[in-house]
Structure 1
Amino acid sequence: MISNKKIYDLVIIGAGFAGLYSLYKAKLAKLNVIAIERASNVGGTWYWNRYPGARCDVESMQYSYQFSNELQEEWEWTEKYATQPEILKYANHVADRFKLRENIQFNSEIKSAKFNSDKNHWELINNTNQLIKTKFCIMATGCLSTLNKPKFKNIKSFKGEIYHTGNWPHHHVNLKNKKVGIIGTGSSAIQCIPEIINEVEHLYVFQRTPHYTVPARNKPLKYLKGKTKKYMREPVGYDNDLFIEEVKYNYSNFRLKAQNSVAAMALPINHQSALNVSKERRETVFEDRWNKGGVPFIAAFEDLNFDREANETAAKFVRNKIKSLVKDSHVAKLLTPDYPIGCKRLAVDTNYYESYNKPNISLVDLKTTPLEEFYEKGITTSKNHYELDIIILATGFDAMTGTLFNIDIEGKNNIKLKNKWSEGPKNYLGLASSGFPNLFTISGPGSPSVLTNMIVSIEQHVNWIFDCIEYMKNNNKNFIEASLKAENEWYKHNQEVSIDHVRSSCSSWYIGANIKGKAKNFMPYVGGYSKYVEKCDEVSKNNYQGFILK
């Protein structure tokens, strides 16, 4: 399928949600395009992350494309928070509906990408040593697509099965009557543990740092299915009592609310300060948010993300909830975080804390009894040996930069991206890096990306990129590169806005803290989605200010 002779207008690396929409736009623009995907099918993160309990933490009616009104109207989600199989089914539907597969090379992985300055094109090499030449390259490689696999001592000595939540097998994994260990208590583990606890003989949870999580309150979605309704209520976001037809009745307005928001999500915002209301009022608001469920909890008051004292009121509320939900006071204490809530990504769960009341679960605190090594029959800590049949690594990802670094990307003057970013990624608007012409990154470092509803952010980036390519075509330009000055200014701004935000107040993958040896910089843009979009629009309206075009 790949042509070695011709030069493509565009090569897209990845066929997840970013790659699929990029491909749709490229075909619409009648570009000579191909997408390269290492998996055997579309879906990106939802192709790989198929562990038990995997589902989205953004409500289904917002976690979907909005570029096609017909697509929005015809697709029917079944639950408030879609499961991994349903999201993957949706991705496949999009690929088939818009005939995108014919331009995707599956089971193909780009190993290197080198910019040829003399010929002004990129030369890519894949895992079968095929040479692919292209004028433009879009890195639709995802923010959470390279696994974090800590180098545990003697891991290969374990005779049982080892699985990573981020690369779960496609076949059924039989956990019934097995002694299972799971390492990590982040978002993936929080979804996985309640799902497998009723199947395993015993579950050992190896925890280093406890994580805040709030109940999802997931439920089946309600449809009128042709029944009449006199008055269509207007959705706020994360509504619990609306029919889907009510959400879709004025879908464009609902979507606009998300576009004008901080996190590219429509949700109920309380503009009060947590410190300017009575304790009784504060508790009532937190209780209401807790009962309604989901990430809107962190928007219970407007200053939770910026004022540490205000944040502590929310953190304390959740800590008290943990204490009330987990019967064993010692276990409850181990599960209770001591850092600001929202510093690490707020997880959304179904019966996570309640799972620790089951008789067949043990929580192992790795802070007081560190994991020393794997051995033939399981795991050894400084205190005990744990015999296990299966070990699950819920250890997360090398976020934002991991997959880009897996490709040997070389720009002008033999500059390697990995070397340039060795002290932290510098990317103008999260879209392009100086020294790497005609190369775009979707939801790259320096953009809101992982702090938002990803699909909305993806569509905004893809639209911006294709408007840029169209501008270049209309103005006879063949070369675009972020200027070093603009890149440095954006990086400085990105770091400055993160200083007072709760997101930068603890050790997390947002700053690369989960990867040994990785430079510690705040990678996503925390200044807000709508403000970021304004900046992008300003740049394009001023003839792509901050970029060098030739």
Structure 2
Amino acid sequence: MTTSVLAKRSLRSDTIHYDAIIIGAGFGGIYMLKKLRDELGLKVRAFDKAAGVGGTWYWNRYPGALSDSESFVYCFSWDRELCQEWNITTRYLTQPQILSYMNHVVDRHDLGKDIQLETAISSAEFDEENSCWLVNTDDGHHYSAKYLVTALGLLSATNIPNIKGLDQFQGQKYHTANWPEDAALEGKRVGVIGTGSTGCQVITAIAPVVGHLTVFQRSAQYTVPVGNGPLSRETIDDVKRNYDAIWKQVRDSRLAMGFEESVVPTMSVSAEERQNIFQSAWDIGGGFRFMFETFGDIAVDEQANIAAQDFVRSKIAEIVKDPETARKLQPSELYAKRPLCDSGYYATFNRENVSLVDVKANPIDEITSKGIRTADGVEHELDVLIFATGFDAVDGNYKRIDIRGRNGQSIKDHWKDGPSSYLAVSTTKFPNMFMILGPNGPFTNLPPTIETEVEWVSDLIGFMEENELACVEPVDGKEQEWSETCCEIANQTLFAKTDSWIFGANIPGKPNSVYFYMGGLGAFREILDSVKREDYRGFKFKPVKTSNQYAQQGRH
């Protein structure tokens, strides 16, 4: 296909032209807009289908929604003054706190005037003749831009499992990522499907207010206390005083979580000391701290992993009063998924109004008009059914937009064997399209990784503008090379031996693939720096043609 239908629209008189179009107004879209508009002087427009900024934190308003990164590193580091001014009050951040912060950043930097809300992008196609992207919105408007930046988020495309009878249910159905403001749970019979990070949070939060809560558990989880609470004035002052040292450590670390990751082998200490270290981490709280600050090999060595498993299972037996419920809650798989933390998850099952259904042993047979019928013939009657069933992660939102690159190739076809990228920010055959948190990016606390990628992409765009280059894309083979690197690293960990959304296992029919670079943020930054130093090694550029109708328009 030499000339696509969409490419013919390049001649439309009603097309609105920008230097760059950004899809998404979460952490990535906000910072990308700031960099391109205020530092490179480009004419930029960011679009988001939501009615407000915030990305995942706009949509995920479910009870109990909480960051699992600590407040002093779950923010933008680039606004140094704001880091000093902002009132940090708690160790972790609730959804309203994060959304308030993001709105403040947008207002503080006057970004709102260049963000178009309640506008979904329906299609985007690269016009090869003019080296630009042609973008259409769901309200029928047409745009073009030299650069397209996708800041779609890793966890945005909601997943609702295809369960028999789904449409029969006569009560209220909610997905945690589309939580309505008028959701009423008080005194209701509520069922929750899903016990991942979101499930643990919402189950713990709503149990005290619902009439009865039935938890439908497919996979038992290892989760540790979050340890949230108010921060002392001394702690807050210490964070602000040590701003530079903290963020240097974050950028040089593996997880970007704001703590020093242990290098001590689990089995190098006595059983007693090991128990004490685990207990101390349990008391302090934090899922990532428990897995990575205690010892350095829990994620890579099976014997070390079993030691951590045994400790958490012992805690479940200690906390949960009913032995049969405790048995159902105890995981038997490797402790090698996203490390979870909670605000009293296991203790919630001691409540008289909470019951647990193990749907691995007793599967859901059908959703009925009254509730859920399990394989044992029991119909669990419900007023409200909550899906805490996660997302079609990483590439899910890309597949929901008709994105086409060279020769009209769709990104769905390009990624039919699993999503891939070169350095997480670019993909072959899609020139001038830059991804923030694209496939095979670092598995870390996200804001520092977002900053890393946004700054690198901004530098590359600045390089193109300075050198009058029309377009850029990875050299053939570089995408596969990066995928192999990510696969090699992932296979050195125990994460690759479990079924997890990290590898696409939560979506039926989705290729089981590597979706993350697990070498850490520090190593990832070094790779990006070396590519940039070597004149953007692995990328090919095309100079501007004077006949390009968009190049002739001049700088806006």
Match of 1:193 in 2: 203
Match of 2:53 in 1: 42
Structure 1 segments of 4+ aligned residues over 4 angstroms from their partners: none
Cα deviation, residue 329, structure 1: 1.2
Amino acid aligned to 1:183: I
> Deviations 1:115-143 (Å, cap 9, x if unpaired)?
11111111111111211111000000000
Q: Does the CA-based 8 Å contact 1:257-1:265 persist in structure 2?
A: no
Which of 441, 452, 459 in structure 2 is aligned with 1:467? 459
Partners of 1:381 and 1:6 lie apart in 2 by 54
Match of 1:317 in 2: 311
SS in 2 for 1:122: strand
1:202-221 matched pairs, under 5 angstroms: 202-221=212-231
Q: TM-score, normalised by structure 1?
A: 0.94
SS in 2 for 1:456: helix
Match of 2:386 in 1: 392
Match of 2:358 in 1: 365
1:148-163 matched pairs, under 5 angstroms: 148-163=159-174
SS in 1 for 2:187: coil
Q: Does the CA-based 8 Å contact 2:15-2:141 persist in structure 1?
A: no
Match of 1:382 in 2: 375
Q: Does the CA-based 8 Å contact 1:264-1:529 persist in structure 2?
A: yes
Which of 503, 507, 513 in structure 2 is aligned with 1:511? 503
Match of 1:533 in 2: 525
Q: Does the CA-based 8 Å contact 1:304-1:314 persist in structure 2?
A: yes
Q: Does the CA-based 8 Å contact 2:88-2:236 persist in structure 1?
A: no
Identity of aligned residues (%): 41
Cα deviation, residue 455, structure 1: 0.4
- Please give the root-mean-square deviation of Cα atoms over the aligned residues, in Å: 1.1
Partners of 1:355 and 1:180 lie apart in 2 by 14
Amino acid aligned to 1:185: T
Q: Does the CA-based 8 Å contact 1:259-1:265 persist in structure 2?
A: no
Cα deviation, residue 77, structure 1: 2.1
Match of 1:408 in 2: 402
Partners of 2:153 and 2:367 lie apart in 1 by 31
Match of 1:23 in 2: 33
Match of 1:478 in 2: 470
Amino acid aligned to 1:40: A
Unaligned stretches of 5+ residues in structure 1: 224-241
Q: TM-score, normalised by structure 2?
A: 0.93
Count of residues in Structure 1 that have an aligned counterpart in Structure 2: 526
1:101-500 matched pairs, under 5 angstroms: 101-171=112-182, 173-223=183-233, 242-294=234-286, 295-299=288-292, 300-341=294-335, 343-383=336-376, 384-448=378-442, 451-500=443-492
> Deviations 1:205-249 (Å, cap 9, x if unpaired)?
0011111111011111222xxxxxxxxxxxxxxxxxx52011111
SS in 2 for 1:386: strand
> Deviations 1:288-313 (Å, cap 9, x if unpaired)?
11111102111211111111111111
Q: Does the CA-based 8 Å contact 2:213-2:353 persist in structure 1?
A: yes
Cα deviation, residue 4, structure 1: 4.0
Amino acid aligned to 1:65: F
Unaligned stretches of 5+ residues in structure 2: 1-12, 543-556
Cα deviation, residue 269, structure 1: 3.0
Q: Does the CA-based 8 Å contact 2:193-2:389 persist in structure 1?
A: yes
Partners of 1:27 and 1:474 lie apart in 2 by 15
SS in 1 for 2:82: helix
> Deviations 1:365-413 (Å, cap 9, x if unpaired)?
1011110111111111111101100000000000000001111111002
SS in 2 for 1:484: coil
SS in 2 for 1:31: coil
SS in 1 for 2:403: strand
Cα deviation, residue 271, structure 1: 2.4
Partners of 1:495 and 1:283 lie apart in 2 by 33
SS in 1 for 2:517: coil
Partners of 1:350 and 1:185 lie apart in 2 by 14
Partners of 1:199 and 1:6 lie apart in 2 by 50
SS in 2 for 1:478: strand
